[in-house]
Structure 1
Amino acid sequence: MRSYLDFEKPVAELEAKVEELRELATRGDVAAIGEELTRLELKTVKALSELYANLTPWQKTQVARHPQRPHFSDYVSALITDFTPLAGDRAFGEDAAIVGGFGRFRGRSICVIGQEKGSDTESRLVHNFGMARPEGYRKAARLMELADRFGLPVLSLVDTAGAFPGVEAEARGQAEAIARSTDVTLSLGVPNVAVIIGEGGSGGAIAIAACNRVLMLENAIYTVASPEASATILWRDAGRAQDAATTMKITAQDLLKFGIIDGIIQEPLGGAHRDAEAAIAWTGEAIAAALTPFDSMTSEAIRVARTDKFLNLGRKI
């Protein structure tokens, strides 16, 4: 059953009427109902198109967090064959919030790392809602170094509200783990591509997203802190999250304009959650296109290109 966001209420009402007419059409005179059904279907598509053409930053935040939006596991299942996950940081333990391993992307061996939020209550608890602890980032760093050793490109699929802020995470060195993972990401001699598939929150995102190419889905967000946290810091009022979202410039369109990301991946009409198969397929095409330019580059050239990219951030502003 489709879940609707608050601002989608007009579309929800129209789609409910469409479903009612379709149900009636199976029971009675299809010809009599058909004309009205066609009219309502066209009206629904138009309403959805107009709504998603003018989303505010806060509405995009809601779409990025949609519970039915495809997650890391969905992308891996569709795009990566022979995927073999690896566990543990070789220091403390396993962290299910970050999943990583090796597989094949269009016949090419690749390392894949990303946050998994989970799709139901049980899996969300197992994956801690995609908020990683230090061992998750140390695992990510271990896998990236392994990929570098064997000359395999790295793909990061980012979807997290941020790193886990609990006391135990801080006690085990959360900041150091994020910093080290970021350093490893920047230092790789193999090409790496990051895709923000939902939320890209704070150091929890940048720890695996400091890549040669950073792409974002059309309705994803990428930010130094969540709108709620930022509103609390700026105005001591989490209720002003909408104001914070607008002020912070967290959308793909704003970040591309500022040169923070390298490209935007189109989503199906109404968001990736309405047609996950198409969204994932388009993402696969974008990943392949992003990796291709690095095929003929040396390790040092790849490393220098990435370093120059990040040293030049902000110069377009």
Structure 2
Amino acid sequence: MKAYLDFEKPVADLEGKIAELRSLGSEDDAVRISDDISRMEAKSAQALKDIYSKLTPWQKTQVARHPHRPHLRDYIDQLITEFQPLAGDRKFAEDHAIVGGIGRFEGNPVMVIGHEKGNDTASRLKHNFGMARPEGYRKAVRLMDLADRFSLPVIALVDTAGAYPGIGAEERGQAEAIARSTEMCLALGVPNIAVIVGEGGSGGAVALATANKVLMLEHSIYTVASPEASASILWRDSSRAADAATAMKVTAQDLKSFGVIDTIIEEPLGGAHRDRAAAIRATGDAISDALAGFEGMDAGAVRKARRDKFLAIGKDL
């Protein structure tokens, strides 16, 4: 069953009528019904195109959070072969919000690390809605260090509202773990490519997205804090989340113009959740292109390219 966002109501009404016509049609009036369905499908497609051509930052936030949007495991299943998950931070525990392991991308060995939100109640609880504790970031550091030692490019898929802010996480050094993960990203002598596939929230995202190339799906968001949290901080009113999303410039288009991200990956019409396979294929193509730019570069050149990229952010503003 499709899940429609509030602003998609015109499309939902049309697609509901199409489904009703299909269920009520009979062989006697099959031609007439088919013509009616074709006209309504064209009208629905145009309505969807019109809506998605002028999404506001808050509407993009809703699309980025869509429950049917592809998540980390979907990308791994379609893009990575021979995937072998690696668990634990070797210090305290396993954190399921961050999943990582070794596999092959287009036949070449890589290290894949990313946030997993889950796709139903049980898996969302298991993965803590993609909000990692310190153990998750320390696991990421361990896996990136492993990748560096064995010359494996790192692919990071980011989809989190932010790091988990619970008391236990803070007691175990959440801020320090995020900082160490960010430091490890910068120190890598192998190329690292990060893709914001849904939400890129706060330091929980930066800890994996401090990469040679930062790619972003067309309707994803990348922000210092969630729009709701920012509205609470700025105006003491979380209901002004739409205002905060607009003010913070959270969209891929804004961030590309600022030089914060490198590439925008086009999504299927209506968002990645409408054609998950096509969205994942487009992401794989973009990752392949990004990795190709580092062929033949030694560790020093890779580090310098990454350092120069981040030092250049904001210079031309």
Q: For 2:252, give the aligned amino acid.
A: A
Aligned to 2:2: 2
SS of alignment partner, residue 294 of structure 1: coil
Aligned to 1:278: 278
Q: For 2:283, give the aligned amino acid.
A: T
Aligned to 2:45: 45
1:288 equivalenced with 2:306 (yes/no): no
CA deviation after TM superposition for structure 1 residue 57, in Å: 0.2
1:142-191 Cα deviation digits (max 9, x unpaired): 00000000000000000000000000000000000000000000110000
CA deviation after TM superposition for structure 1 residue 24, in Å: 2.5
CA distance in 2, matches of 1:250, 1:172: 30
Superposed, 1:3-82 pairs within 5 Å as 3-26=3-26, 28-82=28-82
Aligned to 2:151: 151
SS of alignment partner, residue 123 of structure 1: helix
CA deviation after TM superposition for structure 1 residue 33, in Å: 1.4
TM-score, normalisation: structure 1: 0.99
Superposed, 1:100-111 pairs within 5 Å as 100-111=100-111
TM-score, normalisation: structure 2: 0.99
Q: Structure 2 vs 1, CA of residues 73 and 26 (structure 1 numbering), >3 Å: closer, same or farther?
A: farther
Aligned to 1:186: 186
Aligned to 1:217: 217
Superposed, 1:94-173 pairs within 5 Å as 94-173=94-173
Partners of 1:259 and 1:316 within 8 A in 2: no
CA distance in 2, matches of 1:114, 1:316: 31
CA distance in 1, matches of 2:27, 2:187: 64
SS of alignment partner, residue 93 of structure 2: coil
CA distance in 1, matches of 2:158, 2:34: 44
CA distance in 2, matches of 1:223, 1:119: 23
Aligned to 1:205: 205
1:64-118 Cα deviation digits (max 9, x unpaired): 0000000000000000000000000010010000000000000000000000000
Aligned to 1:311: 311
CA distance in 2, matches of 1:27, 1:97: 51
Equivalenced residues, count:
317
Superposed, 1:236-255 pairs within 5 Å as 236-255=236-255
CA deviation after TM superposition for structure 1 residue 209, in Å: 0.4
1:27-77 Cα deviation digits (max 9, x unpaired): 541112122111111000000000000000000000000000000000000
CA distance in 2, matches of 1:106, 1:122: 32
CA distance in 1, matches of 2:180, 2:22: 56
Percent identity over the alignment?
67
Aligned to 1:177: 177
Structure 1 regions of 5+ residues with no counterpart? none
Q: Which shifted more, 159-168 or 24-33?
A: 24-33
Aligned to 2:91: 91
1:218-262 Cα deviation digits (max 9, x unpaired): 000000000000000100100100000000000000000010000
Structure 2 regions of 5+ residues with no counterpart? none
CA deviation after TM superposition for structure 1 residue 26, in Å: 5.0
CA distance in 2, matches of 1:78, 1:28: 43
